[in-house]
Structure 1
Amino acid sequence: MQMAKAGDGVIVSTPTGSTAYAAAAAPSMTPPNVPAIMITPICPHSLTFQPIVVPAGVELKITLSPEARNTAWVSLDGRKRQEIRHGDSITIATSCYPLPSICISDPVNDWFESLAQCLHWNVRKKQAHFEEEEEAAEDGGEG
């Protein structure tokens, strides 16, 4: 499959990396035990280009469009930056040797608990009343 999209960038992440920078771009968060790659657009210039999930093992090739007005930069975990010029491409694939992780409890429950504790996921802060309502109540209902 080949697609050409305009935007400010793209985040390609594994489920382990999906809850950090990629989550800030508003995709779905994926549990670490799901073998997948997430492709998340950064400010796409289209309302229809949404984050997508592809199975692990798929090889992605990202190429700078010949119509691009400038070069682009690739960053790997925010550490090393490399400029991509017209005609350059990068290939991304999951490793055939996944990094094992140890979790004493159920991995899915542990993931949900981590989301709740670290990101306050699914926690709603109690909302205060509007100031106008409070002032009207203090004035005897006149507003």
Structure 2
Amino acid sequence: MKVEKNSQKLKSINTAGVILKPSSPELKDEYLNIKELFENMDIKILIEINSAKMIGLNDGLTLDELCNKVDFLVSVGGDGTLLSVSRKSFKSNIPVLGINLGTLGFLTDINMDELPKFLNDLKSDNYKIDERMMVEGSVNLNKFVAFNDIVITRKSISSMIKINAKIDGKPFNSYFGDGVIISTPTGSTAYNLSVGGPIVYPLTEAFIITPVAPHSLTQRPLVMPADFEIEFKISDSQGAVVIVDGQDIYEVEQNESIKIKIASQKAKMLHRCERNFFEVLNEKLAWGN
């Protein structure tokens, strides 16, 4: 098996900050269990303020305060929770561990029954930190970062949308259909996959541009190096909607542009050394069954 090039380690493993899936007060017992497991390994637990309030606790900290006090963050929920935590803590450059209480779990690979072993491995330096490409984008005066994808789509379901695309300022395509997905390699297994886009190894640095229900059958997904800047200009008179990681939404009017480039920093994710992307694909997508 090929050895990962990245051999980063945490500077210390003394304090972790927990963020729970929103609107899930039933996670209180899971949190208390996680807290006990961590503290048994001499790792102090702090909790984010909204998560604390949700489960009836009064000792929460803001995410910024949490990032300044902990060695790593712990996202408890599913991939959506991990996406949100990674984006909101992006500027802090702090690793995130995902505990999976969801279903699919492409990003959150540690289940509750695997947590005790992982904590032992963590204390023994038997873990890895993946660095995942992030995307920076701008819509008018709004700037944002994306972990998975940016979707440009029509405002009305009754009509198609036309989007003119440029790479480094030079026109290269016009998309006419339901929209376009601009995905990171990590996000290639999300919406991109569901519309027939390619799966790309998550530690790659590349953009995946995938048309959604294109009017022309000649339109195909495109994988390109991440050192280009991409611009999408809306030709449709009704404008468009830009959706970032399925969580933030921006409206764009006719002749306005969305500019996208690789982010200056990467997201850091804590994983088991045993985690193998191709085994994950085999399990989650039931390949060979």
TM-score interval w.r.t. the shorter chain? Answer: 0.7 to 0.9
Please name the residue that 2:65 is paired with. none
Aligned mate of 2:195, from 25, 42, 66 = 25
State the TM-score, normalized to the length of structure 2. Answer: 0.39
Structure 1 runs of 4+ off > 4 angstroms?
Answer: none
> In terms of mean alpha carbon deviation, does 69-78 or 47-56 score higher?
69-78
Deviation at 1:7, TM superposition (A): 1.1
1:72 matched to 2:240? The reply is: yes
Aligned-residue CA RMSD in angstroms?
1.6
1:35 matched to 2:205? The reply is: yes
Deviation at 1:105, TM superposition (A): 3.7
Aligned mate of 2:284, from 118, 121, 124 = 118
Within 5 Å, which residues of 2 pair with 1:45-124? 45-65=215-235, 68-105=236-273, 110-120=276-286, 122-124=287-289
Distance, in Å, in 2 between the alignment partners of 1:21 and 1:5 is 18
Distance, in Å, in 1 between the alignment partners of 2:262 and 2:195 is 22
More strand by share: 2
SS at match of 1:98: strand
State the TM-score, normalized to the length of structure 1. Answer: 0.76
> Could you say if the C-alpha distance between residues 7 and 123 of structure 1 is closer, same or farther in structure 2, counting changes exceeding 3 Å?
same
More helix by share: 2
Please name the residue that 1:135 is paired with. none
Deviation at 1:69, TM superposition (A): 4.4
Distance, in Å, in 2 between the alignment partners of 1:123 and 1:18 is 20
Distance, in Å, in 1 between the alignment partners of 2:267 and 2:248 is 21
Question: Which consecutive unaligned segments of at least 5 residues does structure 2 have?
Answer: 1-169
SS at match of 1:93: strand
Q: How high is the sequence identity, in percent, across the aligned residues?
A: 35
Report Cα offsets for 1:69-95 as digits up to 9, x if no partner.
422100001111111111211111111
Work out the number of aligned pairs and report it.
119
Question: Which consecutive unaligned segments of at least 5 residues does structure 1 have?
Answer: 125-143
Please name the residue that 1:16 is paired with. 186
> Could you say if the C-alpha distance between residues 10 and 81 of structure 1 is closer, same or farther in structure 2, counting changes exceeding 3 Å?
same
